[in-house]
Structure 1
């Protein structure tokens, strides 16, 4: 192994997990790894910890190759770096790589979904957001965070389900399968229990409830249908907005995408294309582009 041999790591960091892949200079996938949450706006130090943990996990799987960080070009896409001050602080931190380029999780997802060509992407995971790339220009929509945005996301669905359950406990609405299921999953019996568990919870806590809500909606539970339909209507409108930006193809990815797609408007479902590559592969495309500039 010589110091001149180059390798590429692609990082896709989101609110729930940090996914990474290692490729050689020929684009051959060597190994993949998953570490903890990596939302830079919520926890910068924690994000860096997740990134380097994922990288260490990759290198430990190919220890026989004796790859050093100095041989690696890193492309990193993270939730939260759409905020300029967050990206500036992250760039100010020293890194061990031969080169590093940082962008948003949306940007790398869009690059991956369309293999570096023009197109649009919607992410419906812990959060929700959309982006389009036209003539190498990336325009992002949404991604405003759990507190004031992320409608139609896993965290949003979970939060709305918790709110619904609290209203049922308070006697404002009639208890139903959804409200009781939330209490059962979280092992809560009273409003106090539920508020205590939720008040300082991170988005990933609420996102764990999203599959429950989506599956109950599929089973035609009325309250779940109302929540899922509301979120899906937003995602459908987001897709239409992106396609107005002259995007040639659009993909939807993320942890709840497969369960949410059937609830999207027919005109939106009709134009969806499968993503060609995962976001972490898009991050490697970004790293390679960065080397040529």
Structure 2
């Protein structure tokens, strides 16, 4: 049987197929991104899933395993640590970046560009079996147009509304209500105490505030779309090519998607 693992920045999806391509098992777990759970956490997530298989009397030794792993990028030292963590559980697993993994699915292994905006962001391009990427540097450096990027802009705007640098709008009142802040400055202790959950918590603000009608939020979402479009526009493409989108931000925030689409340049 074949086991596909989509290990993204927010969650991990396990899907098992039989030889006929029929789904026989699905399972969902929290992220195994090394920046959230550490490298030992990757091993633990996979071990937890093996225990799920054992409960169902499925032998993990009989599986052909392919993993699309967020964070499995250009840094060779990080790649080696991820591989070591995975191989402790699945020694024969094939590991690739989660954007590469999603590209194969979204574009049916054809040439084109896949733009992902979820917790993080990246543009992944394939032509003649050669892959290139734009973005994907991670939230500590630059994940332009991602859920984290949007969430950080929301926090910045909220803080400036708190101290009167800019006028209070619905964004301010929604944030205070949703986060249950009795005092405006409680936001400092809240964010400071998040630890390893900081990245995902900030990214979740993008979804939490996506239906709020507010001029500052509208500007943030439009700017996010431009950030994502700029990644695609910087790819050296001289002919018409397919562009697919993936991730919660582009899939569920119409303002981001419309801005992204409007700012794509013709080849």
When normalised by structure 2's length, the TM-score is 0.87
- The answer as to 2:11 corresponding to 1:8 is no
Q: Give, in angstroms, the shift of residue 249 of structure 1.
A: 1.2
Q: 1:41 to 1:81 in 2, by over 3 A?
A: farther
Partner of 2:82: 90
Q: Following TM superposition, by how much is the alpha carbon of 1:157 offset from its aligned partner in structure 2, in angstroms?
A: 1.1
Cα distance in structure 1, aligned partners of 2:94 and 2:148: 28
Q: Match of 1:188?
A: 181
Pick aligned residue for 2:20 from 7, 14, 26? 26
The alpha-carbon deviation at position 212 of structure 1 amounts to 3.5
- The question of 1:141 aligning with 2:137 is answered no
Q: Does residue 196 of structure 2 align to residue 204 of structure 1?
A: no
The verdict on how the C-alpha distance between 1:246 and 1:213 changes in structure 2, with shifts beyond 3 A counting, is farther
* Structure 1 CA distance for aligned equivalents of residues 102 and 248 of structure 2: 13
Cα distance in structure 2, aligned partners of 1:242 and 1:84:
24
Larger RCO, structure (CA 8 Å, separation 6 or more): 1
Shift of the 268–166 alpha-carbon distance from structure 1 to 2, 3 Å rule, reads same
Q: 1:177 aligns with which of 170, 182, 186?
A: 170
Look up the match of 2:30: 36
| Matched residue, 2:157 | 164
Asked whether the 8 Å contact 2:229–2:260 carries over to 1, the reply is: yes
Alpha-carbon distance in structure 2 between the residues aligned to 1:119 and 1:97: 31
1:126-164 Cα offsets, whole Å, 9 max, x none, are: 111110122222212111111221121111111211111
Change (3 A) 1:180 1:269: farther
Matched, 1:117 2:113: no
SS of 2:172 mapped into structure 1: helix
Structure 2 counterpart SS, 1:146: coil
Match among 217, 226, 230 for residue 224 of structure 1: 217
User: Are the equivalent residues in 2 in contact too, given 1:35–1:53 (CA < 8 A)?
Assistant: no
* TM-score (norm. length: structure 1): 0.80
Q: 2:202 is paired with a residue of what secondary structure? A: helix
Question: Aligned partners of 1:60, 1:157: CA distance in 2, in Å?
Answer: 41
Per-residue deviation at 1:60? 6.2
Deviations 1:174-217 (A, max 9, x none): 1110122112111124343111111353211012211243322x
Q: Deviations over 1:106-129 (max 9, x none)?
A: 110111111222222111111111
Q: 2:45 aligns with which of 41, 50, 65?
A: 50
* Structure 2 gap ranges (5+): none
Q: CA deviation at 1:95?
A: 3.0
Which ranges in structure 1 are unaligned for 5 or more consecutive residues?
1-6, 272-293
Counterpart CA distance in 2 for 1:46 and 1:52 is 10
Structure 1 SS opposite 2:68: strand
Count of residue correspondences: 258
- Indicate the residue corresponding to 2:260 in structure 1: 264
Distance 1:10 1:177 in 2: 42
Residues 226 and 263 in structure 2, CA contact (< 8 A), matched pair in contact too: no
Q: 1:269 to 1:247 in 2, by over 3 A?
A: closer
